[in-house]
Structure 1
């Protein structure tokens, strides 16, 4: 990897950690440079619009990580409900490993910047849409009608955000596991209902 790309990526990854743990406003550019180990001049070279441009890149970076993880889990599990449970278990584990300091870098950025920045809001909408699309595609592949699949996917993504906040406050992964189990049960029921309708039997 070229040195310039390495510095750019280090800055984005460091900002993702800081935004996730401390929030956007509380994470200064000096903090980002210090954690990244990149030369300070490279921050302004690659991000001439400053910290807000870094935030846009963090949303894209974190959004792709989540999308890829979801796609992998959907491929690895026989049912969409199992994939949702597995992702919940992974989230709970990651939170515990961080001593419940972590959260979602997309959520922290959007809470602070989206009301004033259309660019940030659009980046967040795009990230959420890619996550929902992975889930909705998997749900539909198991017979759930597209509209219901999209609705369930949106519910799952919305629930993650709330569950992460509850887990951080409780210093426990239990809120995440409980939320994902409840959603998995809904997804299982939707798959069974779709299978019954396809077979022409009462749902």
Structure 2
């Protein structure tokens, strides 16, 4: 009898939460199994390459969730600057709900496994590229030159990832809001510079 597909998703979700809270290296396969409530055989069925393969899946899963959220915000918010401001407050809400135990599963895994594990590095690079592209495209659509838009989008990602570490250490969402608000202000300035009426 084949293993139900739901076990694969349960294992990835459980691993994502554990990696986010305690890191990749500190999380054992038995912990992932216990948290997922999946049968032991399903882990080896779906992840024959072991824990590293789970790490790849977690980074891909987490990256896609962030991409989906940013895409939705880009469709509903007035500007990429507003996307950043709204996302910052969403992140703080998630941090507070977890009592600052949750961090970023993509960051914890990448810090421990990249660049030595090529699979993890590749999906991490793809996730960052997808997030950056959403912000960059919004800036370019507002008249910001592509090169400047690319650098600003990269700055936003760096600010977010660094602020998440500070927020957990300080148990305060302020660093996330402050960092992304400052980058959002830079977005606003770039968008204002890019408006055609500024050049007449």
- Normalised TM-score (structure 1): 0.95
Counterparts of 1:130-141 in structure 2 under 5 Å? 130-141=130-141
2:167 pairs with 1:173: no
* 1:7-55 CA distance string (max 9 Å, x none): 0000000000000000001110000000001101100000000010001
Aligned equivalents of 2:65, 2:119: Cα separation in 1: 20
Q: Does 2:13 align with 1:13?
A: yes
Distance 1:192 1:200 in 2: 7
**Please, what is the CA RMSD of the aligned residues?**
1.3
Hey, what does 1:142 align to over in structure 2? 142
> Does the residue aligned with 2:5 lie in a helix, a strand or coil?
helix
Return the offset for 1:64: 0.4
Deviation at 1:115, TM superposition (A): 3.5
Any conservation in 1 of the 2:192–2:198 contact (CA below 8 Å)? no
Task: State yes or no: 1:119 paired with 2:124.
Answer: no
Counterpart contact for 2:11–2:33, Cα < 8 Å: yes
Cα drift, residue 201 of structure 1: 2.9
Q: Distance in 1 between matches of 2:198 and 2:39?
A: 65
Separation in structure 2 between the aligned mates of residue 90 and residue 37 of structure 1, nearest angstrom = 29
More displaced 10-residue stretch of structure 1: 108-117 or 36-45: 108-117
2:75 corresponds to = 75
CA distance in 2: counterparts of 1:95 and 1:102, whole angstroms: 6
How many pairs were matched up? 199
1:200 and 1:76 mapped to 2: Cα distance?
A: 26
